[in-house]
Chain A
Amino acid sequence: MSESEKYSQGYTIEAQDGDFLEAMEAAVDYRGDTTIEVKDGKVWDGYLFNYDEGEKALQVYPKDDPSIVAIPVTDVVKVSFTGKDTASGKSWEAWAKKKGEEREKIKAQEVDEDE
């Protein structure tokens, strides 16, 4: 299984798991929202975009909050990839293929009309 298949929507990792640090890196890279549970039972739902090395904290934009929240990494209990990965989806090739087909269709119609 590739990294991007492994760390996709629905994936959950707990702090005591062996590959927790690797999963944290993937979570920072993930272009969807994550849900982070911390020790005091609080749950943060939002976009995790950075690991602040100096403060040893995850930086998150909570869904309904204008400001950045810093969560000490030692407080994290569980992280889930809950939001849709916005980076996967429509490709340029699909668009180019669609355009090519449209052009072919127009050309074929022009030939038909000429005949």
Chain B
Amino acid sequence: MGVPVSQMYTVVSYILGQRLRGNKHYPLVLMLEPLFRCNLSCAGCGKIQYPGHILKRQLSYEECMSAVEECGAPIVSIPGGEPLLHPEMPKIVEGLVERKKYIYLCTNAILLKKKMDEYKPSKYLTFSIHMDGLEEDHDEAVCRDGIYQRAVEAIAIAVKRGYRVTSNTTLFQGANPERTRLFFDEMAKLGVEGMMLSPGYSYSKAPDQESFLPRKETYELFREILFRPKKSWKFNHSPLFLEYLAGTRHFECTPWGNPTYNIFGWQKPCYLLQKGYTKTFKELIETTKWEEYGQKSKNPECANCMVHSGHEATAVDYTFGSLSGFLSTIRGTILGPKITNPKNDNIPALLEAAK
């Protein structure tokens, strides 16, 4: 695992505190979306399709800080849109560092080289670089040539200057396991602290409805990618989440684990679906009908969803909620995640979910 000890300690003590208080619906990562404006227009993205006057709006520094305090999650992920387009982003990051929040600033890296000096290297700040594969695959996914090379250059500079850097990859239907493994080699060579992975989700608003992965295909793809991982690969995930992706185990979604705040308010129920907004985080937690979401609910919008923002919090909660979860995490951390040989037809998660 690539996560520093201080971050692990903060997260572990936070979770234990929540569990001791008997709080079932606790947030782990706040998804703070300060703007929807982006300097790319990726076909799989459902986040940027808004009228011009909405794309011009953004959360102020004060709004960001009050959302962070209201939510209380120890980790703040800042997706978008492209956060580096926000004029107050350095101040927002500084405010979060002062509050000792671990920040994942998600960026396509187009502006990173130019704006890097506006941010101080810190154990609290990680640049999480959107990289959807090797050059050809990435440029195709982001619908613009030359972006992979710019991102690689920015990563190399950021790593050299002492920033924490991770890659952040969404894999779509047709992703090639061999090429993905080569891509991991490239990221390892660049010296990223860890790699983040998620299967794509079929947003009802995304223009590309066909290229998202149904569940069984997702398990098969991730088994091929993650079977016999190389020593040099480091993932910024719980080993149990990787086992979930590869179908070794099943987890239900815990959408409250990654609550989303943006210019519309607190988004119900998760980062992906938009089933209304509340003015306060408390209202989000108390009024959302959580039982209507996740695979178990039979909600068709959740049927094939395996995204990171819905399921990693479940894996982490499982670690601290049971002895078997704790032991499995220790085993996975030391020996690596348990990934079944792709040639084996049995996918345990499918059997477990069907129970």
Contacts and interface: CB of A to CB of B under 8 A. Distances in A.
B276 interface: yes
B281 interface: no
Interface string A27-68: 011011100000000000011011111100001010110100
B53 A88 contact: no
Contacts of B208: 91-93
Contacts of B204: 29
Interface string A84-96: 1011111111111
B265 A50 contact: yes
B207 A91 contact: yes
A95 B208 CA distance: 10
Q: Which secondary structure characterizes the binding site on chain B?
A: loop
Contact of B276 (A51, A64, A94, A96): A51
A88 B207 contact: yes
Given A66-B57, A86-B50, A90-B41, A95 B211 contact: no
A91 B54 contact: no
B350 to A, nearest CB: 28
B140 A89 contact: no
Given A59-B277, A92-B43, A92-B44, A87 B57 contact: no
A38 B169 CA distance: 46
B46 A87 contact: yes
Nearest to B145: A99
B49 A87 contact: yes
A66 B54 CA distance: 10
Interface of B: 41-44, 46, 49-51, 53-54, 57, 140-141, 143, 204-208, 210-211, 263-265, 274, 276-277, 283, 287
12 contacts: A47-B53, A50-B277, A61-B53, A61-B263, A64-B53, A66-B57, A87-B49, A87-B207, A89-B207, A91-B207, A92-B44, A96-B140
